[in-house]
Structure 1
Amino acid sequence: MAYAYLQCQLPSPLSFLLSALFLLLLPFSSSADAGFSEGINCLHPEILKDEAVARLVELGKVSDAEGYLERVFQSPASVRAGNLIRTWMEDAGLKTWVDRMGNVHGRSEGLNPSEKALLIGSHLDTVVDAGIFDGALGIITALSALKVLNINGMLEKLKRPVEVIAFSDEEGVRFQSTFLGSAAVAGVLPVSVLHVHDKSGVTVQGALRKNSIEISEENLLEVKYDPETVWGYIEVHMEQGPVLETLGLPLGVVKGIAGQTRLKVTVKGQQGHAGTVPMKMRRDPMAAAAELMVVLENLCKQPEDYLAYDGQCLESTVQSLSGSLVCTVGEIWTWPSASNVIPGQVSFTVDIRAMDDLGREAIIYELSRKIHQVCGERSVVCLVERKHDAKAAACDPELSLKLKSAAAAAGGRWGVIDDNGKEESRAVDEVAAAVPVPVLMSGAGHDAMAMSKLTKVAMLFVRCRGGVSHSPEEHVSEDDVWAAGLAVLAFLENTTLSPHLSNNYE
């Protein structure tokens, strides 16, 4: 314990020198394994907190916009962010590369390169006017934990390869098609997506070629991983909701991710002069669209009033939707969009999410029926297009239990430090056993949804202030960043290090 205590307390450069000296003395020490184990039982605030937070801030400044954060698929800022992440991967001792979909990879082969690999990932792209934690938190905490293993001489002693992936696109802002990066790795990205174009007419294929990445329908499959080479996937992500903050806890484990459908509704009416067409003679698509949005809101607030056939409410379906069904209109655009013109056409998006896939389909069916009913009554033409579908994804129970144990271990490590930052006499395992780690559902989509088509997945949520996300106001405290890094470190110790080299928290 003396080595571990000194290493934790000394300034970072002295800590590294002490590590090197300790490694030189290993052949003459009968307690080498114990020394390693105690060494990585440190809290490492200089890496897991201070450096991690500094990197989140630095990455948050890499933007395509002035005055706010915007970093979309294969934009100049996205490429700069990927290059920055590669340098941090190399700093953690990882071999790096960029694949044909722009995903940035960092990998340690460990002792057995032929073993199935643990993948850890999240996304480097952002929404428009974003915060600095969404996506980036999962990448940075993983790299911080691996850096701790590296400076303790453990990286090459991993019993299986470990790979961090910074996915190029999860948000789907530029091409309105989510999970471009992770779906390609999972092998579920349709080749047709290469020809989808953005608002400027640039295709996915063209955006990649602009950055010297050649991709075609034939070689897209080169990005896909063989399921037989992958042991599992974990993802750390800010909660994007208020539950953990309400509970007063920094970490939670995810049970499953809600399924999602995105629709585009187009309403076509009769364009005309705002001052000369009588109200009773109008075929106004704007008024029709407004009514449809209220219909959607009512349907999703009270599905039991709508999901009834032959007078019987589908109780099991309604029950399955309780607590998870959410519906949102996020975009509206009109033509010709002038204040003195009755629009000729109005389009809007609909986002529907629920944990129960059959229940979600029932909502979509009922919404489509009501849309055509309202449009018929108003003498306008309506078109409903399904733009995106993702089935609900359940996290693997066994992998989630390991992640939950790691989160408890992180809490246990906090538990042996008193309010003044000094070590207490209680054992880490004793405190960890009493640390609560809640199990949550995720209403937001994550790369883990796509990766669940490749391998078993688990997710760790990190508390955020006010549950705010997709906003510059999103915030994760420095101590909670630290707790997340400790949890990833504990998970790596438990699942990738030999028992005699790690602390067993299971």
Structure 2
Amino acid sequence: MASPPHSSSPNRPLSKIRFTISHNSSIFSLLVVLYLLPPLSSAHLYAGVEDTKGVKNDLFLEVLRDEAVARLNVLGKVSDADGYLERTYLSPASIIAGNIIRGWMEEAGLRTWVDQMGNVHGRVDGMNSSAKSLLIGSHLDTVIDAGIFDGALGIISALSALKVLNINGQLKNLKRPVEVIAFSDEEGVRFQSAFLGSAAIAGVLPVSALQIQDKSGVTVQNVLKENSIEISEESFFELKYDPESVWGYIELHIEQGPVLESVGLPLGVVKGIAGQTRLKVTVRGSQGHAGTVPMSMRQDPMAAAAELIVLLESICKHPEDFLSYDDQCKGFSVESLVCTVGEISCWPSASNVIPGEVTFTVDMRTIDDMGREAVIYELSNRMHQICDRRSVSCNIECKHDANAAACDTGLSSQLKSAAYSAMKRMAGEDVDDVPVLMSGAGHDAMAMAHLTKVGMLFVRCRGGVSHSPAEYVLDDDVWAAGLAILTFLETQM
């Protein structure tokens, strides 16, 4: 891993970020005011601990809960859209959010910089700057019409824990360097290619990714240049961290599922993350007049796309009806397979025109990589058969492919212990064992697993709802998350 740049680094300094967002200065000023407002108190939800000035000092309520919740609300107002939260890769709002996070990093006693993919870093060397470093991260980008906790909670909880250590004068006692990374892109909304930030650091992002275009034809490299980041092929490869310099990576994230809520616990440890494939399917037919082309003579890509989407649903609901297994392939977990068509568009998109082209996306996930590959193979074959029968063309393009990632058993054990200890400290009594969960959602830990061992903690979210403004985490669960990270960091002293 290259040495993190100091203030004299040629990488983008804090002042440059502020210059970049100067046209949004009124928004930034509002956010500063919001940040300085005293945080609202929340009702205490854990038995045995009073939500008063009598709360135990070692629970750090003001920093780990009140301030963390206030910061989540601040970031939740940093959006490129009016009326809902949207913050995509290196958008104006993303730059503002990165600037705010960088300020919080410095307040926690960290040295900060922004790398050439727009990731925001904060690092403390501890007692031994040459020791292998612990990386903690999550993402600052969002989906469209997002909630305020996805990604942001992991960053803020880590910074809150480090701030407590800084306040107590213990930051220098860490036996290894600790680095918090706010990844610039995890969702893949703008360029339809997830993990641009973490994959670059892990060394698994191809240099060709710089030429990926968004819907406006703007490339990743264009966007970097617009934000005063010049990147060449040589400097791109320098983004990769040296595996020998990294001890491990941990990530805290909302569960995005209902399990923790069902068992009544705020925290769970992650055993592994499902593999994911994203496809772009383009169906081309014969464009024509809606009133003059007989039904028997049409080559309608919309009708074909509809049949393809129903086929996808059928295969993913009942894969055993479509796949055959030999002695080497005994099958896979049918329950873990999920498929989604989240986006569809057509050209020319007029009510009185038979479209000439229809494009839709496919998102497929399962914990079994062999099963996922088998489903994609069968799906592709059957899609082409349908298109041939309908006399339309079909192009299936893989936009993203990530194998399932297993979390390190040692790190998972440490995180489980830290979560248990945090819940016990807050409850003032023994609590149920920490649940062990699988993740159906993708996370930066998937990319970082190519670099080092990874571990993850999940935080309860109401109804398991995410990627929605209805996404919600209890204030006291935010507190539990920060306390668990703090407890884990105390094992690194």
Please give the range of the TM-score, normalised by the shorter of the 2 chains: 0.7 to 0.9
Correspondences of 1:88-487 after superposition (within 5 Å):
88-308=104-324, 316-317=330-331, 320-416=332-428, 431=430, 434-487=431-484
Query: What code does the residue aligned with 2:455 have?
Result: A
Q: Secondary structure at the residue paired with 1:475?
A: coil
How far 1:223 sits from its partner (Å)? Answer: 1.4
C-alpha contact 2:184 2:197 (8 A) present in aligned 1: yes
C-alpha contact 2:341 2:360 (8 A) present in aligned 1: yes
Q: Which has the larger radius of gyration?
A: 1
Query: What code does the residue aligned with 1:479 have?
Result: D
Q: Secondary structure at the residue paired with 1:218?
A: helix
Q: For 1:445-493, what per-residue CA distance to the aligned partner results, in whole angstroms no more than 9, with x for missing partners?
A: 1000000000000000000011111111101110100010111011011
- Distance 1:315-1:303 versus aligned 2 partners, 3 A rule: farther
TM-score for the superposition, normalised by structure 2: 0.87
Q: Structure 2: how far apart are the matches of 1:441 and 1:88?
A: 31
Q: Secondary structure at the residue paired with 1:122?
A: strand
Correspondences of 1:32-51 after superposition (within 5 Å):
42-51=58-67
Q: Structure 2: how far apart are the matches of 1:350 and 1:40?
A: 50
Q: For 1:97-132, what per-residue CA distance to the aligned partner results, in whole angstroms no more than 9, with x for missing partners?
A: 111111100111001111101100000011111111
Q: For 1:133-166, what per-residue CA distance to the aligned partner results, in whole angstroms no more than 9, with x for missing partners?
A: 0000000000000011111110011111111000
C-alpha contact 1:194 1:217 (8 A) present in aligned 2: no
TM-score for the superposition, normalised by structure 1: 0.85
Q: Structure 2: how far apart are the matches of 1:218 and 1:50?
A: 44
Q: Structure 2: how far apart are the matches of 1:285 and 1:260?
A: 27
Q: Structure 1: how far apart are the matches of 2:206 and 2:110?
A: 30
Following TM superposition, the consecutive aligned residue runs of length 4 or more in structure 1 with deviations greater than 4 angstroms are 312-315
Unaligned segments of structure 1, at least 5 residues: 1-38, 417-425, 498-506
How far 1:415 sits from its partner (Å)? Answer: 2.3
The number of aligned residues is: 440
How far 1:435 sits from its partner (Å)? Answer: 3.2
C-alpha contact 1:124 1:166 (8 A) present in aligned 2: yes
Query: What code does the residue aligned with 1:253 have?
Result: V
How far 1:321 sits from its partner (Å)? Answer: 2.6
C-alpha contact 2:319 2:334 (8 A) present in aligned 1: no
Query: What code does the residue aligned with 1:285 have?
Result: P
Correspondences of 1:16-55 after superposition (within 5 Å):
42-55=58-71
C-alpha contact 1:308 1:314 (8 A) present in aligned 2: no
Q: For 1:323-373, what per-residue CA distance to the aligned partner results, in whole angstroms no more than 9, with x for missing partners?
A: 211001111110111000111111111111111111000000010111011
Q: Secondary structure at the residue paired with 1:50?
A: helix
Query: What code does the residue aligned with 2:393 have?
Result: V
C-alpha contact 1:122 1:447 (8 A) present in aligned 2: yes
Correspondences of 1:68-83 after superposition (within 5 Å):
68-83=84-99
C-alpha contact 1:304 1:315 (8 A) present in aligned 2: no
How far 1:188 sits from its partner (Å)? Answer: 1.0
How far 1:82 sits from its partner (Å)? Answer: 0.5
C-alpha contact 2:415 2:488 (8 A) present in aligned 1: yes
C-alpha contact 2:122 2:179 (8 A) present in aligned 1: yes
- Distance 1:446-1:206 versus aligned 2 partners, 3 A rule: same
Q: Secondary structure at the residue paired with 2:438?
A: strand
The range that moved more, 213-222 or 128-137, is 213-222
Q: Structure 1: how far apart are the matches of 2:167 and 2:383?
A: 60
C-alpha contact 2:272 2:439 (8 A) present in aligned 1: yes
C-alpha contact 1:205 1:216 (8 A) present in aligned 2: no
Q: For 1:283-316, what per-residue CA distance to the aligned partner results, in whole angstroms no more than 9, with x for missing partners?
A: 111111101111110100011100026xx79972
Q: Structure 1: how far apart are the matches of 2:82 and 2:419?
A: 38
Q: For 1:74-117, what per-residue CA distance to the aligned partner results, in whole angstroms no more than 9, with x for missing partners?
A: 11111111110011001111111111111100111001111101
Q: Structure 2: how far apart are the matches of 1:273 and 1:403?
A: 62
Query: What code does the residue aligned with 1:61 have?
Result: K
How far 1:202 sits from its partner (Å)? Answer: 1.4
Q: Structure 2: how far apart are the matches of 1:376 and 1:215?
A: 44
Q: Secondary structure at the residue paired with 2:233?
A: coil
C-alpha contact 1:237 1:461 (8 A) present in aligned 2: yes
Q: Structure 2: how far apart are the matches of 1:201 and 1:300?
A: 33
